[in-house]
Structure 1
Amino acid sequence: MSYVVIQVVLKEKMWGTGSGNLTELEKSINAQAALGYRLHTITTAASGSKGLIAGGDRIQATMVFERIA
């Protein structure tokens, strides 16, 4: 089997809740699907706030895709 590993950093919105760049995660998943891969595993790791200037918390999403046979 063939695998691809991709990491995407999700940034918290400056105001409100939720991620400000979920479309980046979606684009990564769809790009791999177009190449014949499916999402096998996703893990996340959170990091602390970078302060007001740099925005809110960060979540690093690590995705493992496997080739669809």
Structure 2
Amino acid sequence: MRTTVTRAAAVLAGTRVAGAAALYLAAHPGAAVTTVNSAIVNAATTGVVTNPGSGSPNRLLYTATLSS
């Protein structure tokens, strides 16, 4: 069961990050993949995920600043 829940969470997270990338690209057409990645990672809130697990970057997606 835990594997199923983990996979479902990963799918949901992936769709949200794809949306964040779309927001960034709408404001910055033609931005390189590495630039989009950096913008998303740098905009994320750190240290707020409870029990993130070992190896987790412990970042919460934040999109308000990506479209400007």
On whether the aligned pair clears a TM of 0.5, the verdict is no
Higher relative contact order (CA 8 A, sep 6+): 1
Between structures 1 and 2, the one with greater strand share: 1
Between structures 1 and 2, the one with greater helix share: 2
Greater gyration radius: 1
TM-score (norm 2): 0.35
TM-score (norm 1): 0.34
